[in-house]
Structure 1
Amino acid sequence: MIIFPVVIIISIFMYLYYKIMIANEPEPLKKEIKNAKARIALGVFISFFGINQYLFYETQLSLFITIIFLFFGIMQGYAGYKRLSHYKKEYQKRVEVGRS
């Protein structure tokens, strides 16, 4: 199962990338968009980390921990997705007003 560690590593690097890019962004809406993308990457990381731990140990305790990790990972990903869609719409409105 090489796919889970690869997804875990890519998602943690994407999380760190977006968090670092927030500091370099002067516009507040773009900061919020990048923060939402970072939350999605964090949700993917937490979810896949939990699944990977269950597949590695396969015990009842790791199943409960995996369920908790999946819950928090899905919540992070969903909240990030909702923020991303909201702030992208706001950014598009700002761009349209700027063109007019």
Structure 2
Amino acid sequence: MVIFPIVIVVSFILYVYYKVMIIRSADPLIQEITNAKARLSLGFCISFFGVNQYLFYETQLALFIAILFFIIGGLQGYAGWKRYHHYKSEFNKRETASV
């Protein structure tokens, strides 16, 4: 499956990109939004890495490790998703209050 390595690489590149963008931003709220996007990308990377490793080895040990990676990646992605929506709504409130 070629799609899994592509998703892994793209999500890892996005993770590094968002981490660099945190440093470049001076606004703490923008930093939190960008950090949430980075966590979401990291969650995708970890989850798809686990699935890819299971499809590559197809052993029982690889299955347990893939399930563990999928759970950890899912938790990272869910936390990133929740944080993104929370801080995005705070950002929208601040933008409407300043107008």
Q: What is the SS of the residue equivalent to 2:26?
A: coil
Aligned to 1:67: 67
Give the superposition deviation at 1:63: 0.2
Aligned to 1:97: 97
Between the aligned partners of 2:21 and 2:61, the Cα distance in structure 1 is: 37
Between the aligned partners of 1:71 and 1:3, the Cα distance in structure 2 is: 20
Between the aligned partners of 1:92 and 1:7, the Cα distance in structure 2 is: 30
RMSD of aligned residue pairs (Cα, Å)? 0.3
Any unmatched runs of 5+ in structure 2?
Answer: none
5 Å-filtered alignment, 1:3-22, equals 3-22=3-22
Using the aligned pairs only, state the percent identity: 59
Give the superposition deviation at 1:37: 0.1
Between the aligned partners of 1:9 and 1:15, the Cα distance in structure 2 is: 10
Letter in 1 for 2:72: F
Q: What is the SS of the residue equivalent to 1:16?
A: helix
Aligned to 1:76: 76
1:81-100 CA distance string (max 9 Å, x none): 0000000000000001100x
Aligned to 2:54: 54
Any unmatched runs of 5+ in structure 1?
Answer: none
Q: What is the SS of the residue equivalent to 1:26?
A: coil
Number of residue pairs matched by the alignment: 99
Give the superposition deviation at 1:3: 0.2
Moved over 4 A (4+): none
- TM-score scaled by length of structure 1: 0.99
